[in-house]
Amino acid sequence: MNNLQNILHEFVKEHPAPGGKPEIALTVGTHDPNRDNAKFRLSDAGKCRLMRYYKRQGKKADDTIPAPDLLQMQIGNMFHAYIEYACDMMGVVIASEERLEDEDRIGHFDMIIRTDGEPAILYDIKTINSKAAYYMNRNNKQTKPEHIAQVISYVMALDDAYHMANSYLKPPERAAIAYVVRDTFKIREVELMVSEHEDAVRSDWNILLNAWDYQEPPEANPTSWECRYCAYKMSCPSSTV
Ligand code: SF4
């Protein structure tokens, strides 16, 4: 599957900038700059439940995010903006960066597109460096559980909103993660079978929502690397670092 890469190749051929070089046009806003943490973030789906609980509680992070990390996040935002702009120019975008919200959760999906009469597909775009791409390939690792949980959460939220008549957007028939390698712009698309993951993702959310209803912090369930990058790693009693 390499749908998105083909669209981008067509885009740079059809819309050459002056001098024949591709141009970055950041006219599509990405991500909410004023994140509302009064609800759980859909983009945190699949991450440590205790971290998500702390975040919604407004627990103060141990440190502010260092400037180099903030800049690195901006690289991801630029890639998102460029890809969404290119797809919009190619006339394939059904919706992008739209807000999804219920009483406990909030988030924005990246993009839903449709090409040549194909079923609509939701894309979640992840930028990675070539080293990460190399290890994913070498270890034959298609994707990560938390990335799957995030995409499935968007699809489920779209489905709920549509069926409750809170959204005009029909839930997409397909969903995929697009891994974009920062230094080559190569894209690896991983399509997900939504029905395969739905129960696990729903059950993860239910544990967290239940904990919130009772105002009882849930059991921590970090992955092996997660505490190292967690905003609460110094103050959390379950931290592994
Ligand atoms: S430090 Fe680890 S266990 Fe504690 S909230 Fe963060 S990820 Fe979860």
Supply the pLDDT for residue 21: 54
Spacing, Cα 231 to ligand 1 middle (Å): 8
- Considering its fold, how many domains does the chain have in total? 1
Question: Using a CB cutoff of 8 Å and minimum separation of 24, what contacts does 224-231 make?
Answer: 226/47, 226/48, 226/51, 227/48, 230/48, 230/51, 231/51, 231/55, 231/61, 231/62, 231/63, 231/65
Per residue in 129-159, pLDDT tens?
988 888 887 776 788 999 999 999 999 999 9
Per residue in 96-108, pLDDT tens?
989 999 999 999 9
Q: Are strands 105-108 and 40-41 parallel, antiparallel or unpaired?
A: parallel
Ligand 1 pocket mutation pick from 232, 234, 241 by most atoms within 8 angstroms of CB: 232
Task: Give domain status of residue 240, yes or no.
Answer: no
Task: Give domain status of residue 183, yes or no.
Answer: yes
Q: 22: domain CATH number?
A: 3.40.1350.10
Task: Give domain status of residue 10, yes or no.
Answer: yes
Task: Give domain status of residue 35, yes or no.
Answer: yes
Ligand 1 pocket mutation pick from 44, 225, 227, 234 by most atoms within 8 angstroms of CB: 227
Q: Coil, helix or strand for 88?
A: helix
Task: Give domain status of residue 78, yes or no.
Answer: yes
Helix pair angle (49-57, 194-214), 10° resolution: 50
pTM of the model: 0.88
User: At residue 191, what are phi and psi to the nearest 5 degrees?
Assistant: -85, 140
Whose tokens are 């799957």? That residue is 148
Task: Give domain status of residue 221, yes or no.
Answer: no
Task: Give domain status of residue 210, yes or no.
Answer: no
Q: Coil, helix or strand for 188?
A: strand
